[in-house]
Structure 1
């Protein structure tokens, strides 16, 4: 079966990609097709999430298994077939391509037809592609803390931190006695 997918972005109004993929191929094949179509750096982390009709995440299909125990519950793209999750029109996925900023594309199954494809095919490629990784605006203003707010509390010396006023420290504390207790 051939699964036809529409990919939309909430960042760019005219962004529409449509991909046809054979359901016997893996999510890694779909990931590679998306990355190639968008000219993204394929070494960046990405995940697909199945969703309900309201785009609420359900199951994750990740690029790499990052669990230390290699759990069988973790779905990895190269081991997960398209047919394992996509089999009817209207099904939805999120494709998270920027983990740090939690940015994603919205993917929906728009049609299913009999037939087969050797590799995924992007047959509709419209609109500007969003930047892959969004890095915050690290201007001088946002990276420099406002030190004036601490002037009343801290004058630059340790004495102003009132370390000597802590009465729960015992001046006669003998470390040898403490070590003998343990």
Structure 2
């Protein structure tokens, strides 16, 4: 089956590509089509994320496994398009270059049979050019972890409760760290 996607740069100006790719193609193949169609250099780290209808990032599919075996990581080369996208779960987020944070919202538009004589993947429609730099992002804390003052009490612990003896009560000697 052929999956038709619209990949939109998360920015105020209209910049998007409509791409057709085979369902059994890997996410790495999809990554390569995206970098070429948006004229990105292709030499930076990137990841896909499964997403819900509100564009919240879920499971990551990274270009390389950088986990050192500490946690299972799904890589783009070992994951096919049809494994992560369906008509029930039609959205992905693609982030290219984690320093610049080029962010693309990708949505499945259609699943159809292949057309005879057509080579896939292919870009079938293109609007706009990438700006010189990635659009600025505003990051928000997950409200499930914020207390009523806007802080994160669960992770703050006793540090900013005014207890001047906090560090004196710790069970480590700063000189024994090495």
- Asked if TM exceeds 0.5, the reply is yes
Aligned mates of 1:47, 1:126 — CA distance in 2: 23
* 1:97–1:132 contact (8 Å) kept in structure 2: no
Larger Rg: 1
Aligned mates of 1:22, 1:70 — CA distance in 2: 32
Aligned mates of 2:8, 2:64 — CA distance in 1: 24
Q: Which residue of 2 aligns with 1:180?
A: none
Q: Give the TM-score of the pair, scaled to structure 2.
A: 0.68
* 2:10–2:135 contact (8 Å) kept in structure 1: no
Cα displacement (A) at 1:89: 6.3
* 1:26–1:82 contact (8 Å) kept in structure 2: yes
Aligned mates of 1:7, 1:27 — CA distance in 2: 14
In structure 1, runs of 5+ residues without a counterpart are 136-182
Matched, 1:127 2:115: no
CA RMSD of aligned residues (A): 2.3
* 1:12–1:130 contact (8 Å) kept in structure 2: no
* 1:23–1:81 contact (8 Å) kept in structure 2: yes
Cα displacement (A) at 1:65: 0.5
Q: Which residue of 2 aligns with 1:86?
A: 85
In structure 2, runs of 5+ residues without a counterpart are 137-178
Q: Which residue of 2 aligns with 1:154?
A: none
Q: Which residue of 2 aligns with 1:64?
A: 64
Q: Which residue of 1 aligns with 2:22?
A: 22
Aligned residues: 134
Q: Give the TM-score of the pair, scaled to structure 1.
A: 0.66
Q: Which residue of 2 aligns with 1:50?
A: 50
